[in-house]
Amino acid sequence: MIGVTETTEPEENEVAGVLTTTEEWRVFLERYSQLYVELHADEEELADLLDEDQLEALDQGERVEAWLGEAAAREEAVAASEERLGVRFPPSVRGFFLASDGWTHLDGYVDGVHPCGRVVWMRDSETGGRVFETYASIPGNEDDVQLFRRSIEIAQGEDFWLLDPTDVGPDGEWSAYEFAPKYGDTTKYPSLFALFHSGYASMEEDREDMD
């Protein structure tokens, strides 16, 4: 039976600064792409992600300038998504979409970040709605149900990435959550960037362990 979710705020979520501009996000996501390729991609996946020159450079132990994101969203598309949801995205979320309209290769248990046109209230998504209804049917999960009711689902897979527009920090950023239904655990982050950065920091630790 699903129990009450435990929300944690680990120390590694304390990230200096928040990326707000398209240029800042682009630089960070390029580094994220490069590190992901170095650590995670198998031969079959690499063949889909890289061209022949990049594959050859990687075989020779060189670093490659990979881009695992999507084309940038147009300002009009981001504005349309905001109008559909009835919100104004915080600077870091807008900056992300204007750098890459979605993301499909992440270190973690989400399949990818939705493009802005597919971002949805968790309660209204197919999978999120089922989780919402399941938790709502079990006494003692009231706090979780309220979080799910008010949160926007920005990424989903085995786990969820959620943004809470009602919890706004002094920098104007929305609190972000990584929710793992399998364990009933919710980890809170101060922003979408902090959530992204947590995965990047984890990959950096893995690389150091390999050296």
| CATH code at position 182 | 3.40.1580.10
Does any domain span residue 110?
A: yes
Does any domain span residue 1?
A: no
Contacts of 200 (CB under 8 A, 6+ apart): 28, 31, 32, 35, 107
- pLDDT at residue 161, rounded to an integer: 96
Does any domain span residue 3?
A: no
Alpha carbon distance 18, 6 (integer Å): 26
- pLDDT at residue 9, rounded to an integer: 58
Give the CA dihedral 156, 157, 158, 159, nearest 10 degrees. Answer: -20
pLDDT in tens, 128-175: 999 999 999 989 889 999 999 999 999 999 999 999 999 999 999 999
**Residue 14 confidence (pLDDT) above 60:** no
Does any domain span residue 126?
A: yes
Count Cβ atoms within 10 A of the Cβ of residue 131 and give its class: 0-12 exposed, 13-18 middle, 19 or more buried. Answer: buried
Does any domain span residue 11?
A: no
- pLDDT at residue 13, rounded to an integer: 40
pLDDT in tens, 164-205: 999 999 999 999 999 998 888 899 999 999 999 998 898 888
Does any domain span residue 7?
A: no
Does any domain span residue 150?
A: yes
Does any domain span residue 2?
A: no
Q: How many domains does the chain have?
A: 1
pLDDT in tens, 21-64: 999 999 999 999 888 887 766 666 676 666 677 777 767 766 66
Please check whether residue 202 is in contact with residue 107, taking contact to mean a CB–CB distance below 8 angstroms.
Answer: yes
Alpha carbon distance 117, 140 (integer Å): 34
> Which residue range is the domain that position 64 belongs to?
17-210
